[in-house]
Amino acid sequence: MVIHKAQIHNVLPDDLASKAKIGYLRSNLLGNKCEANEQWMQMFGAAEGDNLDDVFKKSGVVHSVDVYSINSFMANALRGTERTYRGFLRLRPLQNSGNEWEWYHITIQVEKYDPEHGVIDTIAFYYGASEIMSVQSPEDLDRYSEYADAVQALNCIPWSLNLKTHTLTSNPSFIDRKYGFTSDHRIFSLDEHMSSILPEYQEEFMRTLNLIEAGLIERSKLEYQAYLGESTEPVWVETSLLLRDRDSQGKPLTVIGALVVIQERKEAEFAIIEAKHKAQQMADMKSTFLSSMSHEFRTPLNSILGFSTLMAHSDSVEERMQCLGAVQAGGRQLLDIIDDVIKLCKLDSGEIFMRHERFDINDLCLQLVDEMRPLRREGVNASFFRTTPDLMVVGDKQYTGEVLRQLLANALEHTDQGSVVVTCRHIDADFIKVSVADTGGGMSPAVVEHAFERFFKGDSYRPGTGLGLPIVKRLVTMWGGHVSIDSHVGEGTTVSFTVPAHNVGSSAI
């Protein structure tokens, strides 16, 4: 848009405009026309024929702090939401050899706006206002610029809130541009600002603001999550609030503050809390482990030492054989405990890796039922019920066998009469369900709830470490399966787990 020299016809002659430092600019965006008087052209160092955009791009004409409000108005004007702007700003006319800032009052009026084309016609007046504003010295403004640089370094948004109109003005130009703010200066309602704060923090923010408005406190600091600019994810921020002005009756009028992004700090805090929690868990697990293992180790060791002493002093061959059987049983129990501890340690350290091999789950179940049948009590029947021939699965045969062996051992241990039955069946195209059902005493809901916790034993009088089911759950979870318990007191227990029918995430083998 080319600038043409003009006078303020029928309003103010050029000589008076020069003395009063009144600049005049009129632009028609649709017609690409622009006219300005001599005072305006001198103020901005423009000449007839210059391009208006190039003139405005010249650095140093308008103070960097004041240009934000102008940009905000122009952005609103282009959207048709604002038609008039009046305010004071600092200019440094290019003909000013002293390089000093001068205060001016500016009025910008959108005379014509069309929804299709936007702003069509604008007119602007500037007049000198340095005496009105009583600017002390260039050093004051330089110091203000230094403060602005400090705010920039803090990566924050300064803001002010008018408590009477509930209008909030902020300047996001000092914050990281990654948050997508599209304007340097924003004016909006308090309700609009509250909508950017996550609901769980809105009540505390309003409570603090109400305390300031009631004159009960003058400053506060809040941490909350909010959406900034165009960001789609909430970030942690810290807002400082300070009562700045009161009206003639002494009532709070203006609250100022600064919003600082503390996302990295909060993430570090959460990481420390999580690490502390894990450390406490590990300490608790260590204490529980030592307490439980000392008891579990002591029982078979006492049995081994006691019966070996009896065997050394016995003259009866039959009695010695009985003692030897007890020593062997204690040794096997001790070995099982050590195996469980080693296996759990390997699971925790990630040293167990699953193989993917294809095998018939029916054959594995039948083999293990035959292997475990001698452990059943008299009058208890252990059997495998084949529902479908050739149930092929893909997984680690060794660990699948260990899971089934553990569940069979638990069922046989807790069943005094009746039966223990193993079944396998398809539950969908991806998984096969293996169930071990017994007719034992069953478990209460409270016991079932804690059954997969380490060292938990529903019946403290039963042998075992309380590690069997936790190991089962960890192994089944590793191959993408699921474990469940269905139990009722006096009716028995059914423990089920699932095995992939093929490679999860790939085509069937």
pLDDT in tens, 172-182: 666 666 665 65
Question: What is the predicted pLDDT for the residue at 198?
Answer: 94
Task: Let me know whether 13 and 58 are in one domain.
Answer: yes
Handedness of CA 304, 310, 313, 315 (dihedral sign): negative
Task: Let me know whether 461 and 374 are in one domain.
Answer: yes
Task: Let me know whether 121 and 248 are in one domain.
Answer: no
Q: For residue 142, is it within any domain?
A: no
SS3 102: strand
Q: For residue 147, is it within any domain?
A: no
pLDDT in tens, 334-374: 887 788 778 777 777 777 788 888 899 999 999 999 988 88
In degrees to the nearest 10, what's the CA dihedral of 32, 38, 39, 42?
Answer: 90
Task: Let me know whether 303 and 439 are in one domain.
Answer: no
Q: Looking at residue 15, which CATH number applies to its domain?
A: 3.30.450.20
pTM given for the model: 0.44
Question: What's the number of domains the chain is made of?
Answer: 4
Task: Let me know whether 93 and 188 are in one domain.
Answer: no
Q: For residue 410, is it within any domain?
A: yes
DSSP-assigned beta bridge partners for residue 226: 197, 235
Handedness of CA 36, 38, 40, 42 (dihedral sign): positive
Instruction: Specify which of 75-89, 105-119, 141-155, 208-222 reaches the highest per-range mean pLDDT.
Output: 208-222
Task: Let me know whether 171 and 252 are in one domain.
Answer: yes
pLDDT in tens, 199-244: 999 999 999 999 998 889 989 999 999 988 777 889 999 999 998 8
Q: For residue 463, is it within any domain?
A: yes
- Maximum pairwise Cα distance, the chain: 137
Over 90: is that where the pLDDT of 509 sits?
no
Task: Let me know whether 317 and 391 are in one domain.
Answer: no
Task: Let me know whether 46 and 180 are in one domain.
Answer: no
Write out 156-224 in H/E/C secondary structure: EEEEEEECCCCEEEECHHHCCHHHCCCCCCEEEEHHHHHHCECHHHHHHHHHHHHHHHCCCCCEEEEEE
Q: For residue 84, is it within any domain?
A: yes
Which domain-ending residue is among 245, 261, 277?
Answer: 261
- Measured distance CA(502)–CA(236) in Å, rounded: 44
DSSP-assigned beta bridge partners for residue 236: 225
Q: Looking at residue 289, which CATH number applies to its domain?
A: 1.10.287.130
Task: Let me know whether 31 and 164 are in one domain.
Answer: no
* Residue-number span of the structural domain to which 287 is assigned: 267-352
